């Protein structure tokens, strides 16, 4: 896509929609050259729907339970997204597995965010799993969706420290604050045409990578 034009987004949600809000805010602050053409929720009670409406964004409820199969539901969602000329699909707390119908309709054009440092802790309830495992760092990952669960090419990650006595809520909030920073950034990199997927890796053009001597150690060395 042309690097100078805003990218058309479709955002899929199931719940609170704080990542949706972070994307809306980044667009409004002009840090992200994107237009949200449509928000789709598979649940009528998703708080995120209100956020969309408050910002004048077209929002649709497509309830998965009303469809006979995952594929039939995905077909409906794909039709709604294509009808609005969506180029990049953003999963933001969308609690449904995607069928090949969706993944093939938007190859390497679906992003998801996961509240752990993939490939550690895929799946659900991962903040508690990280605490229970006793890891010293966890974080969040934005990746391109492939057919495997939480398995696609990784675009950007943020690491946060984990304390042994963290509660699930404390760690979730710490991670979520970073989600809200890295998701808009990943979308902006896409909009600038800087993401190139080769095999399971994402190469970022003109990437100012972390200096390789900038190491995080937890607990810190004295
Ligand atoms: C986030 O933790 C995200 O990583 C996960 O679901 C949660 C969604 O939160 N996929 P919100 O609905 O964006 O507030």
Which entry of 114, 125, 133, 180 is annotated as an active-site residue? 114
- Whole-model pTM over 0.85: yes
Helix ranges (DSSP H) in the chain = 18-28, 47-54, 70-83, 100-105, 126-133, 168-191
Pocket lining for ligand 1, CB < 6 angstroms:
15-19, 92-93, 113-115, 176, 179
pLDDT, tens digit (0-9, with 9 covering 90-100), for 134-185: 999 999 999 999 999 999 999 999 999 999 999 999 999 999 999 999 999 9
pLDDT, tens digit (0-9, with 9 covering 90-100), for 59-76: 999 999 999 999 999 999
Mutating to test ligand 1, I would choose from 23, 90, 179 the residue with most ligand atoms within 8 A of its C-beta, which is 179
pLDDT, tens digit (0-9, with 9 covering 90-100), for 80-123: 999 999 999 999 999 999 999 999 999 999 999 999 999 999 99
Structure tokens at 201: 């890796």
Indicate which residue's Cα is closest to atom 10 of ligand 1.
93
């Amino acid at each position: 896509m042309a690097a100078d034009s805003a990218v058309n987004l479709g955002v899929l949600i199931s719940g609170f929609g704080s990542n949706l809000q972070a994307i809306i805010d980044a667009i409004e602050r002009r840090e992200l050259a994107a237009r949200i053409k449509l928000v789709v929720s598979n649940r009528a009670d998703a708080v995120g729907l209100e956020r969309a409406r408050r910002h004048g964004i077209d929002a649709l409820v497509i309830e998965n339970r009303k469809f006979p199969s995952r594929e039939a539901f995905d077909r409906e969602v794909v039709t709604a997204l294509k009808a609005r000329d969506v180029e990049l699909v953003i999963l933001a707390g969308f609690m449904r597995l995607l069928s090949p119908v969706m993944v093939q309709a938007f190859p390497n054009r679906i992003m998801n965010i996961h509240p752990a440092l993939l490939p550690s802790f895929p799946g659900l309830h991962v903040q508690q799993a990280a605490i229970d495992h006793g890891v010293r760092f966890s974080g969040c990952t934005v990746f391109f969706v492939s057919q495997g669960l939480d398995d696609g090419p990784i675009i950007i990650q943020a690491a946060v420290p984990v304390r042994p006595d963290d509660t699930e809520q404390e760690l979730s909030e710490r991670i979520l604050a970073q989600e809200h920073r890295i998701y808009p950034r990943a979308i902006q990199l896409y909009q600038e045409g800087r993401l190139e997927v080769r095999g399971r890796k994402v190469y970022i053009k003109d990437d100012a990578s972390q200096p390789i001597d900038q190491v995080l150690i937890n607990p810190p060395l004295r």
